[in-house]
Structure 1
Amino acid sequence: MNDGGDDIVDLYNASASGCTTTLKNLINKDPHILHKISLTPFSETPLHISALLGHLDFTKTLLAQNPRLASELDYHERSPLHLASAEGHIEIVQAQLHAFEDACLILDQDGNIPLHYAAMRGRVDVMKKLIVVRPDSTQVVLRGKETLLHLCVKYNQLEPLKLLVESTSENGHFLNSKNSEGGNTILHLAVTLKQIETVKFLLSVDKVKEEVNSLNKKDSTALKMLEDYPKDFNSFAIRNMLLDASARVEKVNNASESIEITQSRNKWWRKWWKHLKYQGDWATENRGSIMIVATMITTLTCQQTANPPGDIWQQGGYVLMSEKDNYTVFAGTSVVGSYDVGSYVVFMVFNAISFIASVIVTFLLISGFPTKNKFCMGLLTIALCTTLAFLVITYLVAIYMVISSSEYFNYKVYELTQKGVLGSLAAVIVLVFLIRLIRILVWVGRKIKKPIPT
């Protein structure tokens, strides 16, 4: 029993290597070994393997010893002829047809016959052999009522298509048959796939050209289907071919024209909205840069607290500022704060706000908060705007503290400069606020329009 099992293994190894000598030795040892293949657990026969790999002499020897192997099927319900046809081994195909020509019409589990595999792989010589033996194999319909012609177009096999069309050029019904999926002819399919050479060939066939305005299940001609797809060079080339073949141009109805006009009018708005649209990843991409800016602002505000504008008193004591004003000062306190308390307090308050806001930004970034969350991004935006706004105001107060005591100080010039800076700042803040407001209103509008599930 073990010897028989070893012989079967040797048989399959020989079929893979194509060793005819080993095959003959095994047959001499056990004349019935080829009839015992059906008792093995293997789904493929040695003939399947040799046919697939193109071992011609081995295949002929197998068929001479047991012609019935040509009708055996593997677990995909494919015969050895299916495999040889797909690989283009024409002599092996011929040998199998001589042994069992009805294998031409065997359907595998996908509904394909050997001719279909030859067409899918562009094996024109094999197709000719199969058609000569069984001309009716060209009429076998695939699943979905697709013909062999549809299959050639689907796999972009022009030469096999030419072979089939030329052999059935007078059969208009076959050439213009429609599949069940969309009711498309081969011309519909070729136009959809934008196969320029295929379309050019099909329109040269009279029976196909006569049905250039054939409708599919959506009442669309080939030209109408082409118009519904994105335009490129192939589209324009195919469109010209169809028009030259008297393809009918469908008129656009008033409703479509109205939609088109509305879309063109709203095009500018979509372009602007593209730039206003919320981009949740900008903080993630620029996290490092934001962290550096926030840290620098924190450091700057700390330095301004320790060393305010106008410097600090190095020594304490009694200071005479003018004939009427004199002060008692303390070492380490602000010089300006000794005689202009109001400006100093305003400076410190605004500086503190900028400091706190920058610290908040830093905490948000290092805490790993979700940058794609709109609420968190809104909080980060507010903190950043607050930091920068009060930093600018602090700068203006610092200028006033430093130069207000100078005899060359011109309050009107300072006031004009202050209004210019604050006006620019206000404009930027208002712009940011409007952008945020528009985003919120659009978001709320979409939520309101969204249908409530029942």
Structure 2
Amino acid sequence: MEGEAVARKLYNAVSEGDVTTLVQLLEEDPYLVHGVLFPCSRNLLHIAAMHGQASIAEQVLNHNPRLAHMSDSQKSSPLHIAAAEGHVEIASKLLAAAPGMCWWRDEQGMNPVHVAAMNGHVEILELLLLESSMPAMERLHRGQTVLHLCVKHAQLRVLKVLAMKMGELVCAKDDDGETLLHLAVRCNQLETILYLVEYKDVGLETRNGMGKTALQILDESHPRRVNYTQMKKLLTDPLLIGFEFSEAIPDMSSTMIVVAVLIATMAFQSAISPAGGVWNEDDAKSSRKAGEAVMASTHPNTYKTIMNANQIAFVFSIMAMFLFTIKKHQAVHPYFFIFMSFLTIGLALIAILITLSESIYGITPDEHVKFKRSNILRILIMVLVIAVVVPVCVVGVVSWYESWFNKKRRQLYRGAHAFLRRRTDPAAPAGA
């Protein structure tokens, strides 16, 4: 009973950081630092590392540095526990006392580098890599690398740090032929996929042991899976990274609202101030009244066309403004917004073009043949086509060229890689 009481008192002193009590107990019985074990066969350093007591760890190491080399019932060393808990200062002291423990594996086959990476402790990871980067090259179960472990546990920050230091592991495969990209798709890690696709030399067409690419693995999942559409876009066309069409159009809302307001203003102004002006006084002979449009009497069909087009332009511009207003409250689906915004603005613009062409026709003398309605309308439609179709074609050609160029670059890289491999390893197959 007395021994249990001392052990409990010692445990409390170590876990709470009571250096005075620890020193007092060790002065009374120096053997305590060597022989006392706690549950799971953990020694004083395990307990200090678990609770983040750096001063206690320093005192224990001064009395018995060999404890840093001892493992518990799960084969975890004090450095494993410090790496798992994220205690940088304790890890530094343990690393100085037992640098070889960077290689020690627990019962799950993981060394402290793997443990730190799995738990997202970048500071400890950099500390361990400063001592030696070789433990990070050690493979895990079924040949997985430490980068596979980062993807599996969604540790993107750690993945980026390791990729900068050990870029050769980014394209590594496990025993099943799975790359980081395959695993990221299986684990539904959208941000990781984005990073890997942006990373140079990551092969989208790399196949695993079952002969499947990352895209084929994604296609086997349910289309309603979270992030399915975004991942599909990244794996299908990497050139569209960072470009979301449904998000790009709403960003133009302020500009398109201005256009809609201008169209509505033009339509309103054309209605109250028609081309050709209005009659200044009543005419009893022809039943004309002051304020009526002159064109309504001289060109009734043209005037009717102008008024109808004006109303269409005004109504669709109002609809566009209403659509942009409710979009701010996320009341409509993005793709419905895209379709309706183009439709309303496009119809309003066409109506304004018709108004302009008919107005020019109505006020132009008949002897000026070059201003006939058909010629004017043809010119306006040509201008509209040039303003809309040409930019779309240019963007399409540029996108196709970039896609073709990147494809050729990947092919050249694979060819150069295979050539270098054959030079260094003559036994390698030609397509390797």
Whether the 8 Å CA contact 2:182–2:213 is kept in 1: the answer is yes
Residue 235 of structure 1 corresponds to which residue in structure 2? 228
Shift of 1:237: 1.0
The answer to whether structure 1 residue 36 and structure 2 residue 42 are counterparts is no
Query: Equivalents in 2 of 1:35, 1:92: separation in Å?
Result: 19
Shift of 1:222: 0.6
Whether the 8 Å CA contact 1:212–1:245 is kept in 2: the answer is no
Give the secondary structure class of the aligned counterpart of 2:41: coil
Query: Equivalents in 1 of 2:108, 2:69: separation in Å?
Result: 18
Whether the 8 Å CA contact 1:212–1:246 is kept in 2: the answer is no
Query: Equivalents in 2 of 1:179, 1:86: separation in Å?
Result: 24
Give the secondary structure class of the aligned counterpart of 1:176: coil
Change (3 A) 1:41 1:230: closer
Correspondence list, 1:40-439, <5 A: 43-169=41-167, 171=168, 174-180=169-175, 182-208=176-202, 211-232=203-224, 234-245=227-238
Residue 448 of structure 1 corresponds to which residue in structure 2? none
Please tell me the residue identity of whatever aligns with 2:215: L
Shift of 1:74: 0.6
Whether the 8 Å CA contact 1:119–1:157 is kept in 2: the answer is yes
Please tell me the residue identity of whatever aligns with 2:174: N
Query: Equivalents in 2 of 1:87, 1:8: separation in Å?
Result: 24
Query: Equivalents in 2 of 1:111, 1:144: separation in Å?
Result: 11
Shift of 1:3: 5.5
Query: Equivalents in 2 of 1:243, 1:85: separation in Å?
Result: 38
Query: Equivalents in 2 of 1:73, 1:7: separation in Å?
Result: 23
Query: Equivalents in 2 of 1:190, 1:108: separation in Å?
Result: 26
Query: Equivalents in 2 of 1:23, 1:218: separation in Å?
Result: 58
Whether the 8 Å CA contact 2:145–2:174 is kept in 1: the answer is yes
Whether the 8 Å CA contact 1:85–1:114 is kept in 2: the answer is yes
Whether the 8 Å CA contact 2:99–2:131 is kept in 1: the answer is yes
Query: Equivalents in 2 of 1:245, 1:214: separation in Å?
Result: 15
Give the secondary structure class of the aligned counterpart of 1:207: coil
Please tell me the residue identity of whatever aligns with 1:141: R
Change (3 A) 1:42 1:87: closer
CA RMSD of aligned residues (A): 2.0
Query: Equivalents in 1 of 2:39, 2:52: separation in Å?
Result: 24
Shift of 1:30: 2.1
Shift of 1:31: 2.6
Whether the 8 Å CA contact 2:46–2:81 is kept in 1: the answer is yes
Unaligned 5+ runs, structure 2? 241-432
Shift of 1:5: 5.6
Give the secondary structure class of the aligned counterpart of 1:31: coil
TM-score (norm 2): 0.53
Q: What is the percentage of aligned positions where both structures have the same residue? A: 36
Give the secondary structure class of the aligned counterpart of 2:201: helix
Give the secondary structure class of the aligned counterpart of 2:227: helix
Please tell me the residue identity of whatever aligns with 1:175: V
Change (3 A) 1:92 1:230: same
Shift of 1:7: 3.4
Give the secondary structure class of the aligned counterpart of 1:230: coil
Higher gyration radius (CA): 1
Shift of 1:82: 0.7
Query: Equivalents in 1 of 2:52, 2:151: separation in Å?
Result: 28
Shift of 1:42: 6.2
Change (3 A) 1:188 1:41: closer
Residue 27 of structure 1 corresponds to which residue in structure 2? 26
Please tell me the residue identity of whatever aligns with 2:192: T
Query: Equivalents in 1 of 2:4, 2:187: separation in Å?
Result: 52
Shift of 1:15: 1.6
Residue 14 of structure 2 corresponds to which residue in structure 1? 15
Query: Equivalents in 1 of 2:113, 2:197: separation in Å?
Result: 25
Please tell me the residue identity of whatever aligns with 2:103: L
TM-score (norm 1): 0.50
Shift of 1:168: 1.7
Change (3 A) 1:195 1:42: closer
Query: Equivalents in 2 of 1:32, 1:76: separation in Å?
Result: 24
Whether the 8 Å CA contact 1:52–1:84 is kept in 2: the answer is yes
Query: Equivalents in 1 of 2:211, 2:140: separation in Å?
Result: 23
Query: Equivalents in 2 of 1:75, 1:158: separation in Å?
Result: 31
Offset from partner CA, 1:256-307 (integer Å, 9 cap, x none): xxxxxxxxxxxxxxxxxxxxxxxxxxxxxxxxxxxxxxxxxxxxxxxxxxxx
Unaligned 5+ runs, structure 1? 248-454
Residue 291 of structure 1 corresponds to which residue in structure 2? none
